[in-house]
Amino acid sequence: MEQRLKGKRVLVTQAEDYMGPDTVALFSEHGAEIIADSRDLTQPGATEDLIAEAGHIDILVANLAANAGKPMQATDNDDEHWQTMFNVMVHPLHRLCRAALPQMYARQAGKIIVYGSATGLNALERFSAYATARTAQVGYVRTVGLEAARHNVQVNLIAQNWVENPVYYPPALTERDSFKELLASQVPIGRLATGREDAQFALFLASDESDFFVGQAIPFSGGWKQ
């Protein structure tokens, strides 16, 4: 098997959660040296400490996710829930990029892949805090991606939904007939993606084959609302 990331140092955040394990496993298979970090990046100085400790980073995988919580009207969305979504998914993204990009700019090479959400591209009723934070990620990547491209650094986002995950799609949910009906009506491809399929897309964005992708938020959602 061709090792597409041989010799590359890859930092993966929230490595034990969401897309972390599948990414670590697949990227390792392709020869990457993995820095798998699981610290709480909402804490002051945590992102700066992480980048400093990591040293040389060829590829940053910003796996930043939070439980969306129960569906609710915007009028019922309190400040704590609203701020949590931004504290987990938006502010650390900026701090990570701000700390990691200078070394990539100096080498005129680097990749940043953000695991985002298709809810950042499509409206999702009753999840205003989560969807707004995910939309902010999209806006950030689109803007910073343009800046980074001038230094031969590619920043892109996977706008995912309907991907197997024990937090978003636990067996207790996916085994229900009502969920199967929802899946059939909402997702043209008619199934959930596997975590490995998602990680394979991230592998492409991390490889030299994706050099012409600049500041993109690319849907990975089986045709949901496309």
Spatial distance between the Cα atoms of 104 and 24, rounded to a whole number of angstroms: 21
Q: Which CATH architecture group holds 9-220?
A: 3-Layer(aba) Sandwich (3.40)
What is the rounded average pLDDT of the residues 5-26? Answer: 97
Task: List CB contacts of 30: < 8 A, sequence separation 6 or more.
Answer: 1, 2, 3, 4, 5, 6, 203
Give me the chain's average pLDDT, please: 95
pLDDT score recorded for residue 217 = 98
Per-residue burial over 146-184, b = 16 or more CB atoms within 10 Å of its CB, e = otherwise:
eebbebebbbbbbbbbbbbbeebeeeeeeeeeeeeeebe
Place of tokens 């592998």: 203
Q: What is the CA radius of gyration of the chain?
A: 17
Domain boundaries in the chain?
9-220
Selected residue with higher pLDDT from 226 and 170? 170
What is the rounded average pLDDT of the residues 168-197? Answer: 94
pLDDT in tens, 123-141: 888 889 999 999 999 999 9
Q: Is the model's pLDDT at 12 over the cut of 80?
A: yes
Spatial distance between the Cα atoms of 47 and 37, rounded to a whole number of angstroms: 11
Among 8-22, 60-74, 178-192, the least confident range: 60-74
Q: Is the model's pLDDT at 226 over the cut of 90?
A: no
pLDDT in tens, 36-71: 999 999 999 999 999 999 999 999 999 998 888 788
pLDDT in tens, 66-123: 888 788 898 888 899 999 999 999 999 999 999 999 999 999 999 999 999 999 999 8
Tokens of 212: 């012409």
pLDDT score recorded for residue 2 = 83
